[in-house]
Amino acid sequence: MVAAYRLAPPRATLTRRESGSGTNGAAQTCWAIAGVIALAAVVLLAMGRSAVCTCGRIALWHGQVASPENSQQLLDPYSATHVVHGLLFDATGWSLLRRVDGRTRLLVAVVIEAAWEVAENSPTVIERYRSVIAALGYTGDSVLNSGGDIACMIAGLLLARSLPVWTGITVAIALELLLLATIHDNLTLNVLMLLAPDPRILAWQQAGG
């Protein structure tokens, strides 16, 4: 992936045609993104997800993972994993969809992220999290938190576009290591434990590292 990424023309040399059609194109993309997020919220509410934390408190940030408010407020430590999503989506989109303009690639990434938020909050995936990951009390995300996750993915993707390739990769690795050190979990472990759970990793996480 990295080799293909490096062979692509520098981002600063993209033509106006590739980067979109000016203000109108940007506005259309923003409206489309808003529509995708709104649709995801409607679906999540229809699935029985709570709009906000059932504790009755709304906060921009909740930093304690082992807490009923984790994944219920707008942002939490796991929000960083969605920033990593954005960094990865940008690299993948640039490598595989170079002929597609940047705004369309952004919209595709939002659709994928929104679809994941819906899937992640299905009863099957929630139960999978509870059974194989150090999230025994996990009951799913609030709609507010899912919206924050999508916003973090967008932030990560836009950040990646402003950085050299290797800098973006370094940021993603740094976030993964920071999460590993602070909450003993990250995107890599999350995926690993969902697909091939390792009781040794689970014991390490439950023991607090």
* 3-state SS record for 150-200: HHHHHHHHHHHHCCCHHHHHHHHHHHHHHHHHHHCCCHHHHHHHHHCCCHH
The three-state secondary structure class of 78 is coil
- Tens of pLDDT, residue by residue over 28-59, are 999 999 999 999 999 999 999 999 999 999 99
- Tens of pLDDT, residue by residue over 81-107, are 999 999 999 999 989 998 999 999 999
- Tens of pLDDT, residue by residue over 160-195, are 999 998 999 999 999 999 999 999 999 999 999 989
Nearest CA to 101 among 46, 4, 183, 29? 29
Q: Copy the structure tokens of residue 46.
A: 């229809």
Residue with tokens 């932030």: 155
The pLDDT assigned to 135 comes to 62
The CB density around residue 100, as the number of other CB atoms within 10 Å, is: 14
Nearest CA to 88 among 33, 151, 157, 147? 157
